[in-house]
Structure 1
Amino acid sequence: MSIRLPRLLLTVPFGFAALSPAHAQEGGETIMLDTVTITSSKRPQALERADAAVSVATGEELAARNVSTVQDLEKVFPGLKINTRGNRTYANFTVRGISSPDFFSPSVQVYVDGVPQPPSAYSQPLIDVKRVEFVRGPQGTLYGGNALAGVINIITRKPDADRFYVQGTAGNRAAGAEIGGTRVLVPGSTYLDFALGGERRFGRIDDVSTGDDDIDTARDLTGRASLRYAPDGGGFDATFSVSKERLHSHEELYLFGDGVEDLEYQSALYGPRPDLTRDLTTASAQMNWRLDGWTLSSLSSFTRSDIGRDFPGMVPNFLFAWPQDEKTYSQELRAAYEGDGPVSGLLGLWYQHDDFESRKNAFPGFYGESVNRVRSDAAAAFGEATWQASDRLALTAGARLSYDAPSIDARRADTFGTGFGFDFERDADYTDIQPKIAIGYQITDATRLYATVARGYKPGGFNHSVSSLVDAEPYEPETAINYEAGVKSIGLLDGRLDLTLAAYLITSKDKQIYVGPIGQQTIRNAGEAESKGVEIEAAFRPTDALTLTGNLALGRSRFTDFVDRAAGISYDGKTVPYAPDVTGRLLASWLLPQEAIPADITLSGGLNYAGRTYFDEANLADQPAVATIDAGLDLDFRNGLTAKLFALNIADEIVRTSGYVAGGRQFSTVDTGRSFGITLRKEF
């Protein structure tokens, strides 16, 4: 016989329990588990057959860990560190020691339903998500947009039946609501998907200079709609989508001294309350044609990110203004083949045009207003092929040929005759090829070995935040060689244990790092670094009611040849910023035995740990090692209603998310601290 366990029991935030279709239990009984099919390879593939480090979290799993935004994904994926550096526009992603010091050229690419997201929107809310796939390592042979360290692929729900849901959250740190669903316009062919969500974040930082309380508030409103034509059994489908987000935040507050622990801001010393707005618009069109094993695809997208930013900078009664307007158009064409023979693969062409313009206000007595425009055109041809040499052995090879042509036009008035003005125009171009080879061997039906070698690449360009004539010179591309080997074992211990292990070695050259004094920093190719480590993911089901899941990332990311020539300082041996040596998560989920109410009741507890994290190359600003504890109680009623009581960071640990040292003091931003509340959701 077979037993299908309640969904919440199989809520594994790392994508393990769903790897195997069946697990044996005592008495000959079998737990039936759904096989997860991923699309990060641009063609359907069983997760356990992917010859790469891939983790998957479903929408239910994300809800179980209170993951509501992209930056929350670090709670569920191994080796992923996401820090908002000052505000939500500047999200820093670190994977295996590969960081994103330049917010405008990130090392990790984020996609929503195949649409590339602008870096300023990486911290966006997750709305009506079906699953999230996280692929680690260079992905240039699969994605037109460059991906030096990895890809986060977000897939929203697209059912073929009418549905509607409403959800609300109330807590001490935030309150929000969300509605969405699908409307069948023409049965069997045409559908409308929609979602709308809003959140209000309550502050907890007080301004001791003015007496104002809870000044770090924020509100966010997001909406999305998609029109799908997907006839049953048809050879053509198309999706047209639009989305809109509006963020208004006062969270860019740097604390120092006792103010960090006391959550107190001093506007009289640092500057008035900051103000940030982000208006994001996205439109896309995707079309797929299928014929004799081939799928031809076209993806066109346009995004506009309009940012208003007024921020303090250790000047009393003065805010620096830096509004930014960025428009991006991208086009991807690809052909994927998945036939009956031993060979599968894809070929693709990609083009992107990006137009970024910003202005900065004058600083009285020093310099006048400035304007800066950075344009870039990028193109790539990419692809890979997999040969199933036998029932057990698979070989993959691919490459990406890229071309990038950035330019800059920057001017600043020398209003006060101090010599701080400038006026220049420059352009540059770069070409590169990034090969990849991989091998996978299925030792048994439950265990697979794989190894990959791939070259990663991040294009050169110009600093988007111009402060002097030094920024007239472009920085060169950053490259990395990624060596990786892993094993995936599913159904060990009579089906109770799933275990995956990945080991990696990455050597990076011409790393793009901000150098120079605070406020006058510029990006330069500052040297070389090496990252090495292991990642472990596991899911253990000792009983039908208890599930233990976790991940552990042990690594070492150090600069091996890095000299700041302007300052004459060597950083050899220093830890790469935002790359702790140890991160880990553990979650226990217990289905309570009860029949008192018509619902499945699940009690969960989680432990999150991150080792010491440095925020700068000199390793002066840091967040010491910290552990936080979460807890939750889920009630899954049989009428489509769910309720979740949650408590996050129960001990209210102060966790710094970014920081820098100036004048012998460390200035830091901090996270939201202890939060608790309830989320109600009703599916109709």
Structure 2
Amino acid sequence: MLSGFFVPQGASAQAEDAQADNGGLTEIIVTAQRREESLQKAAIAVTAVTGGDLVRSGITETANLGKLVPALVVQPTGGTTSFFLRGVGTNSQNSFSENAIAFNFNGVYVGRPTAPAGVFYDLERVEVVKGPQGTLYGRNATGGAINVLPKKPVLGRFSAEGIAEYGNYDSKKGFLAVNVPIGDTAALRVAGQIVDRDGYISDGYDDDKGEAVRASFLLKPSDLWSITFVGDFYHQGGKGAGAVLLPNGSFAVPSLEDRVSVSDPRAIAAINGYASTLFAPPFCAGGFIASGCIENAGTDGYLDNKFYGLSAQIEGDMDFATLTVIPAWRKSKANFRTYLPGFRGEIRDDAEQMSLEARLTSANDQRLRYVLGAFFFNEEQDTLNYFRQGRLSTTRFAPLLKTQSLAAFGQLTFDLTDSLRLIGGGRYTREDKSQLTASVSGGLPRQVDPPLGAPITGDLTFTKFTWKAGVEYDAGPASLLYANVATGFKSGGFFVASPPNNSFAPETLTAYTLGAKNRFFGNKLQLNIEAFYWNYKDQQVTFVGGVQTGDGIFAQGSLTTNAGKSRIYGAEIDARFAPTRDDLFTANLQYLNGKYKSLQTANFSPTGAPVSTGCTVTGSRLANPGINSARFYDIDCSGKPTVNSPKWALNIGYQHSFQLGGDMALTAGVRSNIESSRFMNANFRPEEKQGSFMMSDAFLTLQGPQEKWNVTAFINNIEDKEVLARAGTRPILDFPVGTLRPPRTYGVRLGFSL
């Protein structure tokens, strides 16, 4: 299913979904199933967003990708990024976290939630594959995969392209790419991007600053063999994502439309007015605890993250099949201070990963087609996590983590007849994890750097076989019917240092899918429909619970347990209509019904005060009898809807091109994203629920002769709607905080192509 923004007339048929000269829709080539095939012939749910779509939508950071893919929810969490597809995902909280949606850049799995950044430029396309990928992808794809594919060097042709953009919030973006042929058998492509934008909220948070460069070298000594080397670097700066107070029944807060940060004096005054009614100490702005007050969010947050990558893709035609080998190395050096959850978190995470993937892919014209592969992944982390949640709760831990994953996978397609095919595949995975972690937790009100305790060690091993079975049927020359059952797996791991209860088990998902892809009226109308049912077991749920310290006392901390069990079903309809070469209508409608069949947690209160929740409290008990008043509260959220799951999501758009003569064109387009309400996390507080909304974007592009230059005026979020990207509860005093999506933005974009 192709979704996204609009494409100028005359763009490349493979890279862009432009209209053909007769008004029909052209084909899009994707590699979501590890072989090149038409999007309309791929019997899976995949949304392809072209590089042009991303440029026209102004997307340079991962957090905004969701507005082009209705099924995808992207949540910023401090310096990390969490993905949710159709209600399946992970709330990344600390260095132990891993995403349930696999993020792959240039065919390389990216392990850290901090690392999916700085890659959204000079792209061929982004593929969002929905549902478990347990037979063609090497690791952790419970709910789907996001494949980011950069442009490759082109032999025998010099080219250059660039973009300069300026918008409100003093937004400045610059992009340049050059393709240089080197003889007849080699080519070099170098691309770079600079982004600098002020923050959207009152104290400068929610900004975007970064510098990125990527170099790709293609060597093709013969028609049968090629090798492509890619090196990339990205520096992420600025203050990072910020938070605002959410309206609630406990006390009056600044209006969301003013985008007042939690560190703003206006927000602190509102919090202190509430604290005084509870006879609690006042909050003070930022820093460490001053005499008689509790620290609040500060203005000194920052990002200083650096990401490096090297990879090679070797491809050889072995006559009977194509061999693909991808060795890769990636390193992320995350260093940031965030107040996103309403308190301070400082994280330094040095992670280095190495991976090797080898695949053997048969030709498309064989009756029995196959993809066979093996995958190796090794990651080592050296991290320091420091969270200050008030006078009663400080957590500092320094894990040394190691993950090693081995997998063998394959998928077969067999033609029973010219129009009927059977699909079968499987993957066996073995994953080993270890930790050596020193930590300290508890009430440490005046210590800047509380000393760490003796290190704790731990080792875990997980094995799993996942599989897929399906059938495909060509109902007509441009109609495909398919049905399949597939399973997915995300390994378990550690969430804290202190044994014995410091780990969680794998989660699994079984997906049942029935779909149809169709073209009608001479390729002018595309109508794709899919229905799905997902059974999600042993769901890994992260919440604020009690962490046992070295002396046996429980303190507040982030826990991940296998607390969830849910069922998710729904349907998605994707339609595109190009009645003429100058008109394009698009619509994507998703219905999603997710419910937790079981979700029970034991939340922790350091003061003993009741915790704020929208679920049922079934009981409570002292956490540390005879020592302090901290309590556990047993929470039952069974029957609640799955988080980040709007029941309805609609993306509609229209564009029209006016031919001006002299080989020039003026293209106007508009798109609206309409979604029903959804809860933002598994606490289910009414204040943490995003209501239904509509956000619209529009653009006007003047295209020069032979597409040598273009000028675009754009406006995004025309309604200037305040929409939550994330919501949570600040543990001390239990007041809700949230992160907002961008407000109304507008500007002008200049582009050239040689």
* TM-score in same-fold range (> 0.5): yes
From the superposition, tell whether residues 320 and 398 of structure 1 become closer, same or farther in structure 2 (CA, over 3 Å): closer
Partner of 1:477: 506
* 1:498-647 aligned within 5 A: 498-517=526-545, 520-565=557-602, 567-595=633-661, 598-620=663-685, 621-639=688-706, 640-647=708-715
Spell out, residue by residue over 1:618-654, the C-alpha distance to the aligned partner (whole angstroms, 9 max, x if none): 3111221111111100111114101111000012111
From the superposition, tell whether residues 360 and 446 of structure 1 become closer, same or farther in structure 2 (CA, over 3 Å): closer
Partner residue of 2:381 out of 344, 351, 356 = 356
- SS in structure 1 opposite 2:504? coil
Spell out, residue by residue over 1:428-475, the C-alpha distance to the aligned partner (whole angstroms, 9 max, x if none): 101110010121100111211001100111111112xx3x62685210
- One-letter identity of the residue aligned with 1:657: A
- One-letter identity of the residue aligned with 1:455: T
- One-letter identity of the residue aligned with 1:474: S
From the superposition, tell whether residues 72 and 669 of structure 1 become closer, same or farther in structure 2 (CA, over 3 Å): closer
2: CA distance, partners of 1:515 / 1:81: 19
Per the TM alignment, residue 109 of structure 1 is displaced from its structure 2 partner at its CA by 1.5
1: CA distance, partners of 2:572 / 2:455: 48
Partner of 2:211: 221
Partner of 1:679: 749
Q: Does 1:195 align with 2:191?
A: yes
Partner residue of 1:248 out of 220, 234, 237 = 237
- One-letter identity of the residue aligned with 2:534: I
| Contact preservation (8 Å) 1:97, 1:556 | no
- One-letter identity of the residue aligned with 2:362: Y
2: CA distance, partners of 1:17 / 1:283: 31
2: CA distance, partners of 1:527 / 1:184: 54
- One-letter identity of the residue aligned with 2:474: Q
Q: Does 1:131 align with 2:125?
A: yes
Partner of 1:58: 50
Spell out, residue by residue over 1:647-672, the C-alpha distance to the aligned partner (whole angstroms, 9 max, x if none): 00012111111111343532111122
From the superposition, tell whether residues 362 and 113 of structure 1 become closer, same or farther in structure 2 (CA, over 3 Å): closer
From the superposition, tell whether residues 489 and 167 of structure 1 become closer, same or farther in structure 2 (CA, over 3 Å): same
1: CA distance, partners of 2:586 / 2:366: 37
2: CA distance, partners of 1:255 / 1:131: 34
Per the TM alignment, residue 99 of structure 1 is displaced from its structure 2 partner at its CA by 1.5
| Contact preservation (8 Å) 1:374, 1:462 | no
Partner of 1:98: 88
Q: Does 1:293 align with 2:320?
A: yes
1: CA distance, partners of 2:663 / 2:28: 29
| Contact preservation (8 Å) 1:414, 1:422 | no
TM score, norm. by length of structure 1:
0.90
Partner of 2:362: 337
2: CA distance, partners of 1:365 / 1:627: 41
2: CA distance, partners of 1:630 / 1:362: 38
* 1:481-500 aligned within 5 A: 481-490=510-519, 492-493=520-521, 495-500=523-528
2: CA distance, partners of 1:15 / 1:655: 31
- One-letter identity of the residue aligned with 1:629: S
- SS in structure 2 opposite 1:310? strand
More off after superposition, 131-140 vs 72-81: 72-81
Partner residue of 1:371 out of 398, 403, 408 = 398
| Contact preservation (8 Å) 2:241, 2:340 | no
More off after superposition, 51-60 vs 649-658: 51-60
2: CA distance, partners of 1:132 / 1:412: 40
1: CA distance, partners of 2:205 / 2:683: 31
1: CA distance, partners of 2:587 / 2:15: 11
1: CA distance, partners of 2:126 / 2:441: 49
| Contact preservation (8 Å) 2:16, 2:28 | no
- SS in structure 2 opposite 1:264? coil
Per the TM alignment, residue 283 of structure 1 is displaced from its structure 2 partner at its CA by 0.8
* 1:11-26 aligned within 5 A: none
Spell out, residue by residue over 1:409-431, the C-alpha distance to the aligned partner (whole angstroms, 9 max, x if none): 11125798999956421111011
| Contact preservation (8 Å) 1:10, 1:17 | no
| Contact preservation (8 Å) 1:237, 1:289 | yes
Q: Does 1:271 align with 2:272?
A: no
2: CA distance, partners of 1:503 / 1:288: 36
* 1:374-523 aligned within 5 A: 374-413=401-440, 423-463=455-495, 466=496, 469=498, 473-490=502-519, 492-493=520-521, 495-517=523-545, 520-523=557-560
Aligned CA-pair RMSD: 2.8
Q: Percent identity?
A: 23
From the superposition, tell whether residues 534 and 629 of structure 1 become closer, same or farther in structure 2 (CA, over 3 Å): same
Partner of 1:667: 737
| Contact preservation (8 Å) 1:14, 1:56 | no
- SS in structure 2 opposite 1:576? coil
1: CA distance, partners of 2:639 / 2:349: 36
| Contact preservation (8 Å) 1:482, 1:505 | yes
2: CA distance, partners of 1:362 / 1:632: 43
Spell out, residue by residue over 1:259-297, the C-alpha distance to the aligned partner (whole angstroms, 9 max, x if none): 533211243452222112210001112211211131112
Aligned pairs, number:
654
Segments of structure 2 that go 5 or more residues without pairing to the other structure are: 1-5, 246-252, 264-283, 286-295, 547-555, 604-632
- SS in structure 1 opposite 2:476? coil
TM score, norm. by length of structure 2:
0.82
From the superposition, tell whether residues 327 and 508 of structure 1 become closer, same or farther in structure 2 (CA, over 3 Å): same
- One-letter identity of the residue aligned with 1:458: K
| Contact preservation (8 Å) 2:47, 2:127 | yes
- One-letter identity of the residue aligned with 2:228: T
2: CA distance, partners of 1:193 / 1:560: 51
2: CA distance, partners of 1:471 / 1:193: 52
Segments of structure 1 that go 5 or more residues without pairing to the other structure are: 1-5, 23-28, 208-213
